[in-house]
Amino acid sequence: MLEEYGHLIYLEAATIVEMKTQLESVANRENIIEFDTVKHEMEIELLITVGGDGTILWTVNYFQHRAMPPMFTIDRVDYEMEMIG
């Protein structure tokens, strides 16, 4: 999908470090960019978060100078509970 549509994926620096091994296999790594609020806040068109309420609140803090873009949230807690039992 990155190749076909040229989407850019912005990740926090900590996420890039955490996912280093997985990201090495991505063909278009140049489409994965370390998110910088000052540089990229106005460029984001859609947010995808993986986590709970805290993740949503953390993400909202990045958008102080504009309206929030649409957000799709995957609740990680529900997923982990399904895996456990």
Each domain of the chain, given as residue ranges in start order, spans 1-35, 36-85
Contact 57, 41 (CB under 8 A): no
Q: What is the pTM of this model?
A: 0.71
The DSSP annotation for 7-22 comes to: --EEE-HHHHHHTHHH
Go through 18-57 and write b for each residue having 16 or more CB atoms within 10 A of its CB, e for each that does not. Answer: eeeeeeeeeeeeebbeebeeeeebeebeebebeeeeeeee
pLDDT digits (tens, 9 = 90+) for 37-85: 889 989 999 999 888 889 899 999 988 888 999 999 988 665 555 555 5
pLDDT higher than threshold 70 for residue 26? yes
pLDDT band at 6 (very low <50, low <70, confident <90, very high): confident
Q: Check residues 8 and 6 and name the one with the higher pLDDT.
A: 8
